[in-house]
Amino acid sequence: METSFPLIGDRLPTLKVTTTHGEMTLPDDMAGKWFVLFSHPADYTPVCTTEFVAFQKRYDEFRKLNCELVGLSIDQVFSHIKWMEWIKEKLGVEIEFPVIADDMGNVAKAMGMIHPGKGTNTVRAVFIVDDKGTVRIIFYYPQELGRNMDEILRAVKGMQTSDAHGVAIPAGWPENELIKKRVIIPPAKDVESAKKRLQEHEGFDWWFCHKEL
């Protein structure tokens, strides 16, 4: 079975899809916006339901970052629509983002979302795509483990911060154990700038300097 997928730094391949919001072409229809393309194993499953609720409850936070959400599973569009109705009726949460109906599995295969060792449904894949259509981050989770949406939100914030300021983002940012909410300055590229680094910036050594944004 084909399990290839675009790598970090690749442009997302053109995907013409049917969604709960109508026909879409990705990444073209998201031009100028970041988006999170995520797959879930199946509609009407408990873990996936908790994930959709969690994504929706953070949807405003994603949109503040100029970032959209797009779900996907190998289900037909009517199944998605009915499941969305169930979530709204039973749980009081209205899912506002589109969900791709990949009932033939073509998108899932192209994106490496089906892992034969884990069955025929899609695993919990996450592709974070920037406003130019480039894949910036990829996460994979098995069916039995629900995702942490706060980490996905943090990842989008971190990449946008890195792009805007030309810095690297430490572990757990903005609550890193060593430097809190500060960010890391890229290492010096020559001997002369390495000698000056600690004169110009705070840090533990010339190769580990950090600053406030």
Q: What pLDDT sits at residue 2?
A: 46
**One domain for residues 35 and 122:** yes
d(CA 4, CA 159): 24
Question: For residue range 161-189, what is the model confidence (pLDDT) as tens digits?
Answer: 999 999 999 999 999 999 999 999 998 88
Q: Residue 209 catalytic?
A: no
| Category of 180 on φ-ψ map: left (φ > 0), alpha (ψ -120 to 50) or beta | left
Cα of 57 vs its chain's centroid, Å? 16
Nearest to 188 by CA among 179, 197, 201: 197
Local structure of 28: helix, strand or coil = helix
Could you report the per-residue pLDDT of 134-151, keeping only the tens digit for each?
Answer: 999 999 999 999 999 999
Report the range of poorest mean pLDDT among 66-70, 98-102, 141-145, 193-197.
193-197
CA within 13 Å, CB half, 78: 0
Residue 94 and residue 31 share a domain: yes
Q: Provide the mean pLDDT of the chain.
A: 95
* Residue 1: inside a domain: no
**Structural domains counted in the chain:** 2
The catalytic position among 15, 48, 101, 169 is 48
Which CATH number goes with the domain that contains 207?
3.30.1020.10
Residue 116 has what pLDDT?
87
Residue 156 lies in a domain: no
Nearest CA among 85, 2, 1 for reference residue 43: 85
Domain that holds residue 171: 166-213
Strand pairing category for 99-101 and 67-73? parallel
Q: What is the pLDDT of residue 133?
A: 98
pLDDT at 1: 42
Q: Based on the domain organization, do 93 and 179 belong to the same domain?
A: no
Residues 24, 161, 151, CA angle at the centre, nearest 5°?
70
pLDDT at residue 61 tops 70: yes
How large is the average pLDDT for residues 123-133?
97
Question: Does any domain span residue 5?
Answer: no
Q: Which CATH number do you get for residue 68?
A: 3.40.30.10
Angle in degrees, CA 75, 79, 81, rounded to 5:
125
**Together in a domain, 138 and 183:** no
Q: How far apart are CA 135 and CA 34, in angstroms?
A: 10
Task: Give domain status of residue 152, yes or no.
Answer: no
pLDDT value of residue 152? 98
Judge whether residue 120 has pLDDT over 90: no
Name residues whose C-beta falls within 8 Å of residue 83's C-beta, 6 or more positions apart in sequence.
Answer: 43, 44, 49
Partners of 11 in the β-ladder? 134
Predicted TM-score (pTM) of this structure:
0.94
